[in-house]
Amino acid sequence: MNDTPPHSPLAELEQDDRFRIFAFNERVQLLTQLCEKQVLIRITPQGSTEPLLSALLEVDHVHGTIVFDGGRDPAINRRLESAQELDIVTDLDRVRVHFQVSNPKPVLVEGRAAFEVSFPESIMRLQRREFFRIAPPMNRPILVRLHSRMGADGSVTSARGVDISIGGMVMLIDGPVAGLAIGQVLPKTSITLPEIATIESGLEVRNLQFLERSGRTGTTRVGCRFVGLNQANTARVQRYINRLEVELRRRT
């Protein structure tokens, strides 16, 4: 239903409540902007891969409901009406907006088909800087020290970061790694950002992939979400990303 691939960096960020809006007034404000600007939204019924392009027609903050335009095809509207859950994605001023609503109720607005739903419980709002990822130069990799020993013999103590964003990073570990699982939290790691600083953060494993190499032991690719990254270290990560962006522009 979600149009984000399940193992993409963006999917990893969408699990992070730091980027979700829960406050009622903030949800009203964002939904009202979508309605007033008539921003196109992509609505995908649960279990379907075919989205409907639509727009919000009404935002009722008193009753906590929104109304969106239906389709011209009656078959599409029947599919919307029968869906228990709808996935809605759009972009507002270069910011990704993503939320789910349930139990759409058919209504008429100025004689045309529409649907009413209750406000989403939360809204994901991702600015470009939050999901933009960048890879460090090969000659200056991000170095990761794992304070929790891993591997069958406990010999894995380090990794190298191959891309990073405000929300997390991908690291490579030589060979297969026993005992590492999706959802596992590495409570303390030291991450050296070349020419910036060494920061401390927990890492939650979001995806794992073993990459085989002919004639070699292979590499384990670990996609991680930062856990407990404080404001000062978040700023250091952003400064590191900004520096790499400047270097990349100079090279191109």
Give tens-digit pLDDT for 45-87.
Answer: 987 777 888 999 999 999 999 999 998 888 889 999 999 999 9
Query: What's the mean pLDDT in 113-136?
Result: 83
CA distance 229 to 10: 18
Token pair, residue 240, equals 């590191």
User: Percent of the chain, pLDDT > 90?
Assistant: 45
**Which H/E stretch holds residue 67?**
strand 65-69
Would you say residue 140 has pLDDT above 70?
Answer: yes
Rounded alpha-carbon distances, angstroms, from residue 234 to 13, 18, 200, 203: 14, 12, 10, 14
CA distance 198 to 161: 13
The whole-number pLDDT of residue 83 equals 93
The whole-number pLDDT of residue 1 equals 44
Q: Comparing 195 with 14, which gets the higher pLDDT?
A: 195
Question: Which range, of 81-90, 153-162, 165-174, 199-208, averages the lowest pLDDT?
Answer: 153-162
Per residue in 78-121, pLDDT (tens digit) is 999 999 999 999 888 778 899 999 999 999 999 999 999 999 99
Would you say residue 148 has pLDDT above 80?
Answer: no
Query: What's the mean pLDDT in 197-221?
Result: 84
Type of residue numbered 4: T
Q: Comparing 133 with 215, which gets the higher pLDDT?
A: 133
The whole-number pLDDT of residue 214 equals 56
Would you say residue 15 has pLDDT above 50?
Answer: yes
Give the three-class secondary structure for 196: coil
CA distance 5 to 250: 32
Highest mean pLDDT among 26-35, 153-162, 170-179, 223-232: 26-35
Would you say residue 225 has pLDDT above 70?
Answer: yes
CA distance 43 to 152: 46
- Of 186, 198, 188, the C-alpha closest to 236 is 198
Q: Can you give the pTM of this predicted structure?
A: 0.53
Q: Are 68 and 110 in contact (CB under 8 A)?
A: no
The whole-number pLDDT of residue 114 equals 96
Q: Are 103 and 82 in contact (CB under 8 A)?
A: no
Confidence of residue 6 (pLDDT cuts 50, 70, 90): very low
The whole-number pLDDT of residue 199 equals 96
The whole-number pLDDT of residue 246 equals 81
Average pLDDT, the chain: 84
CA distance 158 to 174: 9
Highest mean pLDDT among 12-16, 177-181, 194-198: 194-198
Those residues whose C-beta lies under 8 Å from the C-beta of residue 52, and which sit 6 or more positions away, are: 42, 43, 44, 71, 76, 80
Would you say residue 197 has pLDDT above 90?
Answer: yes
